[in-house]
């Protein structure tokens, strides 16, 4: 009996994985139902506005989406999750190309855990609970205009004066910056290098805090912005963890961020390939379907080949993390592998679609324009390759 041919749609293009279980499948269906009901009908209007309504947060909380992986006592859905829950979250949101929503709804995953783990008890009620209920919003304020991914060169300072830190400096390209109520901020409290960094929770309504969208980028989301701190007084009680030891907390959150970015890029690659295949099966050129031309079939096969290799690599890295390892070099190389796969698939899918991609209602044109931000954000490919080299010992 001939083997059944795989469906070459978004779902069919995800290679089978021995690590995905019925629990993961149920989570995917829960997310897909939320995206189809609350996001898909509004996405075009939200893209045009470069933002979305605040009630999406409370709806996400009510649907069990916002609190994924957090303690039920704080309003979360429970901590019995693994990395695939985060991966599937990113896949389902980027299946629709809804980057305008994903970055803001997911940023508390990296900003809130250090507050819960190392912050004072009063922050559980004042910060964590309202954030998980969708009533307050949170940003992870790390990247700086002068430092980019060079964490050791950060210049935002927090000078200790009695029981107060006075914060001066700026951050940029911060997801959810312009609508955040709380900002988990990397500040320099000590000497140069990563050994002088601390994490400080800064309330957005403190005098001296100002935000604005990043002009010219916006990434379909004007809430992605810059933050300026001018003599902002923050109580020392807002220190998260130990002074001058904030880098360890940052490194752990960067790992989570990279997994989200990796899964988002591979999801967009799947969407692009699926769109290209569907069009190639429909479009007639020179008396036959586009997909019947050898050159087009080879383009599509090459895209699927690269996608499958990236997913196999991701499954291996996830498996190692689940075993308790921290394979930093492989995670860095995987991020580069995923983003270069996306760039290739976006370019080739656009080539297959031709003029169809520029009709204003096609996701591939959007994906093509968005691909570069993933290559740069979360660590550029040059920095990550260098990080991998150092981790490998050369």
Instruction: Quote the CA–CA distance of 136 and 131 in Å, as a whole number.
Output: 5
For residue 336, what are the CA distances in angstroms to 136, 287, 350, 386? 34, 40, 21, 11
Q: Provide the percentage of residues in the chain whose pLDDT is more than 90.
A: 70
pLDDT tens-digit profile of 182-238?
Answer: 999 999 999 988 889 999 999 999 999 999 988 765 566 778 899 999 999 999 999
Instruction: Quote the CA–CA distance of 125 and 116 in Å, as a whole number.
Output: 10
Burial of 381 (0-12, 13-18, 19+ CB in 10 A): middle
DSSP assignment of 93-157 equals HHHTT-HHHHHHHHTHHHHHHHHHHHS-THHIIIIIHHHHTTSS-EEEE--BTTTBT-GGG---E
pLDDT at residue 5, rounded to an integer: 74
pLDDT tens-digit profile of 139-171?
Answer: 999 988 876 667 778 899 999 999 999 999 999
Instruction: Quote the CA–CA distance of 38 and 35 in Å, as a whole number.
Output: 5
Closest CA to 177 of 134, 154, 209, 130: 209
| Residue appearing with tokens 């140069």 | 192
Instruction: State the average pLDDT over residues 36-43.
Output: 92
Partners of 285 in the beta sheet?
288
Six token digits for residue 41: 């009908």
pLDDT at residue 220, rounded to an integer: 64
pLDDT at residue 34, rounded to an integer: 95
Instruction: Quote the CA–CA distance of 394 and 2 in Å, as a whole number.
Output: 49
Instruction: Quote the CA–CA distance of 363 and 355 in Å, as a whole number.
Output: 13
As a whole number, the mean pLDDT across the chain is 91
Closest CA to 227 of 208, 211, 216, 205: 211
Partners of 164 in the beta sheet?
161, 235
Contacts of 90 (CB under 8 A, 6+ apart): 102, 106, 260, 261, 263, 264, 267
pLDDT band per the 50, 70, 90 thresholds, residue 70: very high
Instruction: Quote the CA–CA distance of 264 and 109 in Å, as a whole number.
Output: 15
To the question of pTM greater than 0.85 for the whole model, the response is: yes
Residue 293 has pLDDT above 80, yes or no: yes
**Residue predicted with more confidence, 148 or 278:** 278
In the chain, the domains with their CATH numbers are 22-132 (1.10.540.10), 138-244 (2.40.110.10), 248-391 (1.20.140.10)
pLDDT at residue 370, rounded to an integer: 82
pLDDT tens-digit profile of 341-375?
Answer: 999 999 999 999 998 888 867 788 888 888 888 88
Six token digits for residue 222: 């004007």
């Amino acid at each position: 009996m001939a083997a059944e041919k795989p469906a070459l749609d978004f779902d069919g293009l995800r290679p089978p994985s021995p690590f995905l279980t019925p629990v993961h499948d149920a989570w995917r269906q829960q997310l897909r139902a939320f995206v189809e009901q609350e996001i898909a009908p509004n996405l075009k209007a939200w893209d045009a506005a470069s933002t979305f309504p605040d009630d999406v947060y409370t709806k996400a909380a009510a649907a069990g989406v916002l609190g994924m992986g957090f303690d039920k006592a704080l309003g979360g859905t429970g901590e019995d999750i693994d990395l695939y829950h985060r991966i599937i979250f990113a896949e389902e949101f980027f299946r629709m190309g809804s980057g305008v929503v994903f970055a803001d709804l997911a940023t508390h995953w990296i900003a809130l855990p250090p507050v819960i783990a190392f912050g004072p008890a009063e922050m559980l009620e004042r910060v964590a609970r309202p954030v998980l209920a969708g009533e307050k919003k949170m940003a992870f304020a790390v990247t700086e205009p002068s430092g980019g991914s060079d964490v050791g060169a950060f210049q935002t300072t927090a000078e200790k004066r009695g029981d107060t830190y006075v914060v001066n400096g700026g951050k940029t390209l911060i997801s959810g910056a312009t609508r955040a109520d709380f900002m988990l901020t990397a500040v320099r409290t000590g000497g140069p290098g990563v050994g002088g960094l601390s994490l400080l929770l800064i309330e957005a309504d403190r005098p001296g805090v100002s935000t604005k969208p990043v002009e010219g980028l916006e990434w379909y989301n004007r809430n992605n912005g810059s933050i300026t701190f001018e003599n902002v007084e923050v109580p020392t009680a807002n220190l998260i963890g130990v002074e001058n030891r904030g880098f360890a907390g940052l490194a752990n959150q960067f790992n989570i961020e990279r997994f989200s970015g990796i899964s988002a890029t591979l999801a967009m690659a799947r969407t692009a390939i699926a769109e290209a295949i569907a069009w190639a099966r429909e479009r007639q050129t020179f008396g036959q379907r586009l997909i019947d031309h050898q050159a087009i079939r080879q383009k599509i096969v090459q895209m699927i080949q690269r996608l499958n290799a990236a997913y196999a690599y991701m499954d291996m890295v996830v498996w190692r993390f689940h075993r308790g390892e921290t394979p930093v070099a492989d995670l860095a190389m995987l991020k580069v592998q995923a983003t270069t796969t996306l760039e290739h698939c976006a370019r080739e899918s656009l080539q297959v679609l031709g003029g169809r991609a520029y009709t204003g209602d096609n996701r591939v044109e959007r994906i093509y324009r968005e691909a570069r931000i993933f290559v740069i954000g979360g660590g550029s490919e040059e920095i990550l390759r260098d990080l991998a080299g150092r981790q490998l010992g050369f």
